Amino acid sequence: MKVSELKHSGLKKWVEEAIALMSPDSAEVCEGGQAEYDRMIQITLDQGLATKLNGQKRPGSVLYRSDPSDVARVENRTYIASEKESDAGPTNHWVDPKELKKTMTGLYQGCMKGRTMYIIPFSMGPVGSDIAKIGVEITDSPYVVANMHIMTRVGTKVLEVLGGDGPYVPSYHSVGKPLAAGEKDNGVWPCAPMDDKYISHFPETREIWSYGSGYGGNALLGKKCLALRIASVLARDEGWLAEHMLILKITNPKGESKYITGAFPSACGKTNLAMLIPTLPGWKVETVGDDIAWMKFGDDGRLYAINPEAGFFGVAPGTNDESNRNAMVSASKNTIFTNCGLTEDGDIWWEGIGYGAPGKEIIDWKGNRRPSPQKDKSPKGEEIAHPNARFTAPAKQCPCIAKEWEDPKGVPISAFLFGGRRPKTIPLVNQSKGWIHGVFMGSIVGSEVTAAVISDQVGQVRRDPFAMLPFCGYHMGDYFAHWIRLGKKAEAAGKADKLPKIFFVNWFRKNADDKFIWPGYGENSRVLAWIFDRCDGGGKAVDTPIGWLPTPDAIERPDGVSEADMAEITAVDIEGWKKEIADVRKNHYPKFGDKLPKELYDELDAIEKRLDV
């Protein structure tokens, strides 16, 4: 589709200004569809940037290798350029928006010479849903176009909903590598040096400007940039929630279903939980979304959630048939792999895949030939696949995808889960005493720093409130206040009972021998079953200083977990919690200054008093 055919006058003008600034050789508006996706893949194959995988083993799939400087989100180059620095808060990098736009406009000048500009109209969420939002990404990367085809809904159907004057989030992206006349990439991943990488967000004008990176959340601007950083600001202003949360559907043996969302920091099993295969007989778990949830209140007072994405952008290493069989099936075909190993028989491989690599040699993520690992591990620093290697797979290929996953109305949420990787103190599961106590629980989420991380903070808790610390587009103190405000609004309307119940879970408690007490994975269905019953006021529970805990016999024990184990992980560690409260009071809450809601300090005081009784 030609730019001249755009019917939205504001969009057309914006695109024309971008063409004048960035000087591409040509420009085209993405129409969506399989033929366009296939063409983008073929362009990268022809450029030597992609490798087609074995059609028998991995049909319709390709592998990319990025530049070593371009392998993950670059948080130190990610900016929230609000008009006031105080609005960005202490956990975001702030730059004056005028200065930042001046700098980036200079970088954008002529940045697409020798390349094609692609204009990607995309919908976050089912096209036409009242909860969905529309963005338009301008990019010079066919890799980005192909990934956006999987991760969002792209094309003319989005333009039809946008109409002649509808709102959209304008998003610039360039790899920052213009080409001279006759110059080609010649198989070299295009990107700019680290100091020229910028992932910038302008909350007041709802804009995203990205430059210099071609990878992941830096370049797929629907992902974290729009779905969380900009959407969190929209949600604050419009009275809804944009959260870094999975959405799952759970059905009990009677055929009754509930929908649950959950927020977990990285390496806490979030995707595994979203695609869980229950070990508990008669129970069923289905996936609505594995990463992001947008929730708005319905007329009945309940929160309804959509998954704004259309695919999974999953971390490959550690994913295997035991940890996440459904993710493995999802990525078995029609998938884009990035920075994985390439086996002799044309398949992908990564550490933790569950088996050694076949053949004598393997090509690692840097393109080097190496001896094939006989086991699914490699020495630290010598990995075949980059630790952040990814698969981009269509959600519709997930064998446990829920039939409601694209329902434009969303699904009604019964429970929020928060969790982190905590070897001690935090019980297997506890339920909040109320909404504000639940917000408190979300605000202290974190994981203990282990010896596996090179840090002088081993043993300390690295807090990631609501698993949103890198993704909130404004001050986290104001973010907590937004959650509190929504609860008070529901209470004032007499609909507090319609709010989701809030729970904290911890699969990672360890015993004196440093062994995990709870087996995790599919056995987590036993905890979900208790949560399911608690949503209706059932399930055996006891009121404690930290909330409602299951009695030791409330959750059916899996093999290998003794009665003593259950008693340990469902008890209140009084002294441990006193240290937890002291750490929050001294080291965590002060970060947010006078914007930390008084209600959370009051909650802190109340829990402390209950622990002293």
At residue 192, does pLDDT exceed 80? yes
3-class SS of residue 470: coil
Catalytic residue from among 30, 225, 268, 398 = 268
Closest C-alpha to 246, from 345, 312, 318: 312
At residue 530, does pLDDT exceed 60? yes
Residue-wise pLDDT tens digits, 400-414:
999 999 999 999 999
Distance CA 490, CA 76 (A): 38
The pLDDT of residue 135: 98
> Which tokens sit at 451?
């010896």
Question: Looking at the DSSP assignment, which residues form a beta bridge with residue 368?
Answer: none
Distance of CA 6 to CAs 20, 144, 551, Å? 17, 21, 62
Residue-wise pLDDT tens digits, 58-89:
999 999 999 999 999 999 999 999 999 999 99
Q: What is the mean pLDDT of residues 284-296?
A: 98
The values of phi and psi at residue 602, to 5°, are -60, -40
3-class SS of residue 426: coil
Distance CA 610, CA 613 (A): 5
At residue 453, does pLDDT exceed 50? no
Question: Looking at the DSSP assignment, which residues form a beta bridge with residue 306?
Answer: 294
At residue 260, does pLDDT exceed 80? yes
Domains contained in the chain, CATH given: 3-30+75-238 (3.40.449.10), 243-307+405-573 (3.90.228.20), 312-397 (2.170.8.10)
Q: How confident is the model at residue 455 (pLDDT cuts 50, 70, 90)?
A: very low
> Which tokens sit at 251?
């059905």
At residue 392, does pLDDT exceed 70? yes
Question: Looking at the DSSP assignment, which residues form a beta bridge with residue 52?
Answer: 62
The pLDDT of residue 458: 58
Q: Max CA-CA distance within the chain?
A: 77
At residue 141, does pLDDT exceed 60? yes
The pLDDT of residue 372: 96
Q: How confident is the model at residue 452 (pLDDT cuts 50, 70, 90)?
A: very low
The values of phi and psi at residue 66, to 5°, are -90, 175
At residue 3, does pLDDT exceed 70? yes
Q: How confident is the model at residue 449 (pLDDT cuts 50, 70, 90)?
A: confident
* DSSP β-ladder status, 257-263 and 411-419: parallel
Q: How confident is the model at residue 266 (pLDDT cuts 50, 70, 90)?
A: confident
The values of phi and psi at residue 85, to 5°, are -60, -35
Other C-beta atoms within 10 Å of 383: how many? Answer: 19
3-class SS of residue 303: strand
At residue 234, does pLDDT exceed 50? yes
Question: Looking at the DSSP assignment, which residues form a beta bridge with residue 51?
Answer: 63
> Which tokens sit at 15?
């695109």
Contact yes or no for 313/390 (Cβ under 8 A): yes
The pLDDT of residue 450: 60
DSSP-derived secondary structure for 31-67: --SHHHHHHHHHHHHHTTSEEEPPTTTSTT-EEE---
Q: What is the mean pLDDT of residues 486-509?
A: 97
Strands (E), 506-565: 541-544, 547-550
Alpha-carbon dihedral angle through residues 473, 447, 482, 259, given to the nearest 10 degrees: 100
3-class SS of residue 542: strand
DSSP-derived secondary structure letter, 227: I
Closest C-alpha to 502, from 414, 588, 571: 414
The pLDDT of residue 588: 97
Angle, vertex CA 129, rays to CA 128 and CA 133, nearest 5: 85
Task: Assign 3-class secondary structure to 151-197.
Answer: HCEECHHHHHHHCCCCCCEEEEEECCCCCCCCCCCCCCCCCCCHHHC
Give just the sign of the alpha carbon dihedral 96, 481, 225, 320.
positive
At residue 456, does pLDDT exceed 70? no
Distance CA 5, CA 570 (A): 63
Q: What is the mean pLDDT of residues 287-302?
A: 97
Q: What is the mean pLDDT of residues 174-180?
A: 98
Q: How far apart are the first and last CA of the chain?
A: 70
Distance CA 166, CA 53 (A): 41
Residue-wise pLDDT tens digits, 415-436:
999 999 999 999 999 999 999 9
Q: What is the mean pLDDT of residues 497-522?
A: 96
At residue 236, does pLDDT exceed 80? yes
Q: How confident is the model at residue 267 (pLDDT cuts 50, 70, 90)?
A: confident
Q: Strand order in 369-371's β-sheet?
A: 348-349, 341-343, 361-363, 369-371
> Which tokens sit at 360?
């004598």
Residues 6+ apart with CB under 8 A from 35: none
Closest C-alpha to 486, from 227, 305, 295: 295
Say whether 268 is catalytic: yes
